[in-house]
Amino acid sequence: MNTNPANLALRFLLEIAMLIAFGCWGWHIANGWLRYVAAAGFPLIAATLWGVFRIQNDPNPAPVEIPGIARLLLEWTLFGAAALALLGLGYFKIAVCMGIMLKIHYIVSYDRTWAMLRNKPYDGFINKKR
């Protein structure tokens, strides 16, 4: 189910929402020229962590391969921090909605999540020749 187009679209939107939340939070916690640095820096750090530390074959070879449980914790930490940033900005309903959509995503992605918890390479993205 992880490769279902609707689930992939939901994951993409959640990732974009995470980056926007970090950018807005950075903008509101800083003043002066640091406001611009924080608004650009927090999403950049999150995107770098997201893209560099991956599990094997998810969906391509990882720049830095980490165990599945570490990747799952990284995802949950970044998504959780984004939800907390939204709460800190006063967007309670949006934060709750994001949390609900995250739970739905991880439930639907049970195959990938289970493979990551067992620390096994997820082969759902590998094109198998028949």
Q: pLDDT band for 121, please (50, 70, 90 cuts).
A: low
How many whole angstroms separate alpha carbon 67 and alpha carbon 122?
11
Give 69's DSSP letter: H
Residue from 75, 80, 77 nearest 95 by CA: 80
Whether the link from the prior residue into 59 is cis, omega within 30° of 0, is: yes
Q: pLDDT band for 128, please (50, 70, 90 cuts).
A: very low
The pLDDT mean for the chain works out to: 88
CB 125 within 8 A of CB 57: yes
How many whole angstroms separate alpha carbon 65 and alpha carbon 128?
22
| Model pLDDT, residue 62 | 82
Q: What percent of the chain has pLDDT over 90?
A: 66
Domain definitions of the chain by residue range: 5-90+98-117
Angle at CA of residue 46, ends 20 and 61, nearest 5°: 125
Q: pLDDT band for 91, please (50, 70, 90 cuts).
A: very high
Q: What percent of the chain has pLDDT over 70?
A: 90
Q: Tens digits of per-residue pLDDT, 21-68?
A: 999 999 999 999 999 999 999 999 999 999 999 887 777 788 899 998
pTM, 2 dp:
0.85
- pLDDT over 90 (residue 114): no
- pLDDT over 90 (residue 4): no
